[in-house]
Structure 1
Amino acid sequence: MLQIITTKAEMQQIATAIKVQGKTLGFVPTMGALHNGHLNLIARSIEENDITVCSIFVNPTQFNDPSDLERYPRPVEADVEKLQRAKCDYLFMPSVEEMYAKGETWHLDLGYLENILEGAFRPGHYQGVTQIVKKLFDIVQPTNAYFGQKDFQQVMVVKKMVELFNLPVNIIRCPTVREEEGLAMSSRNVHLSDSEHKLALKLSQTLTFIKNNRLTTGLSDVLNEAKTQLTSPPIVLEYLVIVDGATLNEITAWEQSKEPVALLAAKVGKTRLIDNMVL
């Protein structure tokens, strides 16, 4: 039976009691508008831990565009139903006032990770992410925390934060869950019109094109051809790069990385989408 907790004190008390009993605690932090990608993370957590906690918190400090924060979907009742059906144990759903004191500041030295790719297009985004994830980890005290591969760079940033604070939590990256036609599941997909949704399929198709041509074509040729596939309005490509999965540094030849990853971000109409594929 799902229990909904709204205060830090109660959630911390419950988490401490779970840990004292020697039980493992799996944690899935979300901003709500849950889809099958999130539910996949929750299913994996349930399978691998004694107790599973999901949090829903639309974190204001990671939005650099106020209108994006305003538009972010918040279907709370539907989310609660999904968590009940998924047999999640606890939902931690605090208010902004519960999580942030007035005038609170935060800065963590994330090095180059903060200023490339998503960091370059969304300044301050990863400061906001690490600020809230650190708070949530301190409250929930998870053994294992689950994140989707769709946010590839975010997973690396969270791992870096865990390392910097020496936190006792395993960060587990889970494969991206896709719609039947290939579009990566995202809470933002609800903003796409039918025609935009159809166009957005080009994102995953382009990543698949890169993967399929990796063994037969040089990297720069594949990348140039892939970029031409994403230049038709209303798609506006922000970046499409091939990087070393261990560092996020761009590579210029396939043999420069054991785990090359193609990452992209594009606006389809007014909706900004990201995706990636391990090659």
Structure 2
Amino acid sequence: MPGSRRRQRGVLLAGIALLLAALVLAVVLASVFMPGREAAGGQPLRWQDRGTARSLREIVLGRCYSYLAERHPALGRDTDCLKIWESFKYAFIYKNPCNTTAEDYQPLMELAGHPIPCNKSLFWSKTNDLAHRYTKSSHNLLTLEDSLLGYMFDGVSWCGDPSAPGINYESCPKRSECESNPVSVFWKTASKRFAEAACGVVQVMLNGSIEAGAFRSSSIFGSIEVFNLNPNKVSEIQIWLMHDIGGPQRPVQLLQCVRTPDHQDCRLCPSSMETP
């Protein structure tokens, strides 16, 4: 039955050819429609957010040395800024930025972490500017960004790339593109650690002027920090509900009046008490 065998062989070869064609088509479609696809010629992956800061090494080392010299000199004896930089770099360099894990940052957390005194922890949500103007002016409380870890990386963008030089200076992924990007994972990991270390009376500054509500379960405070406060170490939580200028009186109203000195609530004498 040589003719039958030839037909069977022909059908088999045709099936294999169709399967290969389908696989090639799938690869092509994936390269076109998947985010972060690699450009031709070994170019870095393309994303929608800003790329790594060009002077990332200088920023991290400069902030590290500045923090140790001006904010916390006692840490200088046991803190090596160069080791911190190397640990940070190896957490993301030459890696796909959508595959970052908390474990990648554990060596960095151990090298740069330091205790926060009891009764000094301030958490915030949607009050970034106000919270940090308060800590800078009062020096009574500390946010995560006032610790060495937060201070070094606050406002900085970074991500790796599988191709040389291992760092993507052109673009980095937004959280909407992939949640496990280097910046998001870093802040979640650092926030969890900051919350676990809090003790005594803890302060929380929330924004009471947001229509959706001051407490958001999707925020880092609502999804990570609040769940990692240790009830055996935290004796009390004091919540400051901050409103826009013109709202109820609040502890930071003087700071807000610096920005809007002409507002009626910022006058030395309320209008009702002014003489005609």
TM range (shorter): under 0.3
RCO higher in structure (CA 8 A, sep ≥6): 2
TM (normalized to structure 1)? 0.24
Which structure: larger Rg? 2
TM (normalized to structure 2)? 0.24
